[in-house]
Amino acid sequence: MSIIGIIPARYASSRFPGKPLAMIKGKSMLQRVYEQAKKSSLLKDVIIATDDERIREHAATFGASVVITKAEHPSGTDRCYEAYTIYSKKFDYVLNIQGDEPFLHPEQIDSLAIACDDGVEIATQMIKCNNHDVLFDKGEVKIILNSNNEGLYFSRNVIPFIKGVDEKEWHLHYNYYRHVGMYVYRTDILEKLTRLLPSALEKAESLEQLRWLENGFKIKCIETSFDSHCVDTPEDIEKVLKLMGL
């Protein structure tokens, strides 16, 4: 099974312009993500997909392969697919690596890559939610599973509702999981995903994976012990450094 890791990297972020080039203790965020991804034992290759020449030039300084994509992609999924089609080599799966997690664990990538076989269309990760405040944080996406650990639904609200139990104790009565946003797609499935029109549920929750579920695709959910530490704003850099003890 051959898997390529693709790091989508946009310069024009509304909340943090130039985010991939932000310096974190002597290295750019993009370089840190790339170097962590290269430590994975299961990725055959790692490339960066960007629409910006500044990012391409910077990536060249640390030896990364870069594919220039169109600027107007609505999501990292679409950017990954275009980069894959441009890149000359062929792979069975594409693993979409978040470009704003500078301290990503290579083991986290490998645990998702292990899930890949011919029967898996899409896979992603989840982590158990054992805290009331996190559970009710609408910025955290919760996952409802079927008996095969495939996603039935993703929501910013808490599902299921537990009747007759104080909300502060819900996490003690049900195994809630929240989404850790890294995906791996079988390449033929990835092509189909990019052809889908935005769906009603996707627009309601602002979650592109709901478009996939509405159209009948299956998303395997793999439990991980590694939490995600995303950088969305300049202030988040210091927060992430503190979380990592750096």
pLDDT in tens, 189-234: 999 999 999 999 999 999 999 999 999 999 999 999 988 778 878 8
Report the largest interatomic distance among the alpha carbons of the chain, rounded to a whole angstrom: 59
Find, among 171, 172, 143, 174, the residue nearest to 156 by Cα.
143
- The per-residue pLDDT for range 102-134, each reduced to its tens digit, is 989 999 999 999 999 879 999 999 999 999 999
Pairwise pLDDT comparison (74 vs 21), residue with the higher score: 21
What is the C-alpha separation between 2 and 42, in angstroms, rounded?
A: 8
In this structure, what DSSP letter does residue 71 have? Answer: S
The single-letter code of the amino acid at 135 is L
What is the per-residue pLDDT across 86-98, written as a single tens digit (0 to 9) for each?
997 899 999 999 9
Domain extent for 199: 3-243
Q: Model pTM?
A: 0.93
Rounded CA Rg of the chain: 18
Amino acid code (one letter) for 233: T
- The string of pLDDT tens digits covering residues 3-57 is 999 999 988 777 788 899 999 988 999 999 999 999 999 999 999 999 999 999 9
CA–CA separation, 49 and 66 (whole Å): 6
pLDDT tens-digit series, residues 139-181? 899 999 999 999 999 999 999 999 999 999 999 999 999 999 8
Q: What are phi and psi of 55, to 5 degrees?
A: -70, -40
If one counts the domains in the chain, the total is 1
What pLDDT score does 246 carry?
67
CATH of the domain at 7: 3.90.550.10
